[in-house]
């Protein structure tokens, strides 16, 4: 049913079904439409604005963008800016639901963006989050487990700040965790349809639930990885590469987070995924702790 691709990091390069992230897209959309049908997350006080429908539209576009990439191998200049289309429903939602246009940063204080938040910050969040999450992948479990960690952390922060919004993600995160378990075992690949959809999910949920700071802290490893890759390509014109030998992976350069971890240090695929997941989990936990202190203790 699904096309198969070789698993480059397994002996014998076995063929694995690819693109199963589209199942996540379908499940998430059905779940969110059911929430809308039962009146959850819908506010008639602001013109019948619906958080479930807004999130569903964004996830659908993320999955569609991923499918295009799987079929056509989109160039990065297109992948970088296509997510901006999905920012439109989020801008409409944020303006009509009176979402905060400021962010409080540690040691800096409150940054007030005003109208710039709708037309600059939201598009930047969507574009950066979607692409940085898509850039950290290529190993069984890496593109599914790490985003799940971030999303679970944001759900926890949302439960502290806006308890009604975390309900939006209960069904989708359970289904994604099932796909993640299969992906971790090397049974499936979620493909670009999955990585773009989950990236769009994280960006959209953070804007809808207003957990921007938690998102920023959680994504530090992703932003570091993308920045390192882009800087190396810009200055050296070389991409991050990794060699596979004797069931272990190793690199002779430092052009990404993964090559930094495996620099002259042979590791198995599972070890690499575990190390990156721990790093992501540490920053996500830091985001949750900071949010807990800000919301519960300091008010």
- Torsion angles phi and psi, residue 105, rounded to 5: -100, 140
Q: Would you say residue 175 has pLDDT above 50?
A: yes
What is each CA distance from 184 to 4, 14, 66, 179, 187, in whole angstroms?
A: 17, 15, 20, 9, 8
Q: What percent of the chain has pLDDT over 70?
A: 96
| CA–CA gap between residue 201 and residue 59 (Å, rounded) | 6
How many Cα atoms occupy the beta-carbon half-sphere of 61 within 13 Å? 23
| CA–CA gap between residue 245 and residue 184 (Å, rounded) | 20
| CA–CA gap between residue 50 and residue 32 (Å, rounded) | 10
| CA–CA gap between residue 25 and residue 56 (Å, rounded) | 9
In the predicted model, what is the mean pLDDT of the chain?
A: 89
Element (H, E) at 245: strand 243-245
Lowest mean pLDDT among 199-208, 230-239, 254-263: 230-239
Where would I find the H helices in 113-268? 116, 122-135, 142-161, 170-184, 191-208, 212-218, 220-236, 257-261
Q: What's residue 48's pLDDT?
A: 62
Listed in sequence order, the residues at least 6 apart from 121 whose beta carbon sits closer than 8 Å to its beta carbon are 113
Taking residue 186's Cβ as centre, other Cβ atoms within 10 Å add up to 17
- Helices then strands, counting H and E runs in the chain, come out as 13, 8
Give the pLDDT confidence of 68-107 residue by residue, as tens digits.
Answer: 887 777 777 777 788 888 899 999 999 888 788 888 777 7
Q: Would you say residue 108 has pLDDT above 80?
A: no
- C-beta of residue 179 within 8 angstroms of C-beta of residue 24: yes
Domain coordinates of the chain in residue numbers? 21-297
- C-beta of residue 257 within 8 angstroms of C-beta of residue 273: no
What is each CA distance from 52 to 21, 35, 59, 89, 154, in whole angstroms?
A: 19, 7, 11, 11, 16
**3 state SS of 55:** helix
The pair of three-digit structure tokens given for residue 127, joined into one six-digit string:
């574009």
What is each CA distance from 264 to 240, 245, 254, in whole angstroms?
A: 14, 13, 10
Using only C-alpha atoms, what is the Rg of the chain?
Answer: 19
Q: Which of 15, 47, 244, 13 is nearest to 5 (CA)?
A: 15
Residue 47 binned pLDDT confidence (cut-offs 50, 70, 90): very low
The pair of three-digit structure tokens given for residue 42, joined into one six-digit string:
């819908």
* Stated pTM of the model: 0.93
């Amino acid at each position: 049913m699904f096309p198969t691709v070789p698993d480059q990091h397994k002996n014998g390069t076995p063929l694995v079904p690819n693109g199963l992230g589209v199942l996540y897209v379908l499940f998430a959309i059905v779940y969110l439409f059911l929430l809308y049908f039962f009146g959850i997350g819908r506010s008639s006080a602001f013109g019948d604005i619906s958080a479930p429908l807004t999130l569903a539209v964004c996830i659908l576009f993320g999955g569609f963008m991923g499918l295009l990439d799987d079929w056509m191998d989109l160039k990065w200049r297109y992948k970088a800016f296509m997510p901006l289309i999905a920012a439109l429903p989020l801008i409409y939602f944020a303006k009509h639901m009176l979402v905060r246009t400021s962010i409080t940063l540690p040691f800096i204080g409150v940054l007030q963006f005003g109208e710039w938040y709708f037309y600059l910050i939201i598009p930047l969040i969507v574009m950066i989050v979607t692409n940085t999450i898509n850039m950290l992948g290529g190993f069984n479990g890496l593109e599914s487990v790490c985003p799940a960690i971030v999303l679970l952390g944001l759900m926890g922060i949302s439960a502290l700040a806006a308890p009604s919004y975390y309900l939006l993600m209960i069904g989708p995160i359970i289904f994604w965790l099932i796909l993640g378990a299969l992906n971790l075992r090397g049974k499936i690949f979620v493909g670009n349809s999955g990585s773009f959809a989950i990236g769009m999910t994280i960006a959209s949920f953070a804007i809808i639930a207003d957990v921007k700071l938690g998102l920023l802290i959680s994504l530090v490893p992703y932003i570091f990885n993308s920045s390192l890759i882009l800087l190396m390509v810009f200055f050296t014109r070389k991409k991050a590469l990794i060699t596979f030998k004797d069931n272990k992976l190793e690199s002779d350069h430092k052009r990404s987070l993964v090559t930094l971890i495996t620099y002259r240090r042979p590791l198995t695929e599972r070890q690499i995924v575990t190390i990156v997941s721990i790093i992501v989990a540490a920053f996500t936990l830091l985001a949750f702790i900071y949010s807990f202190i800000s919301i519960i203790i300091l008010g």
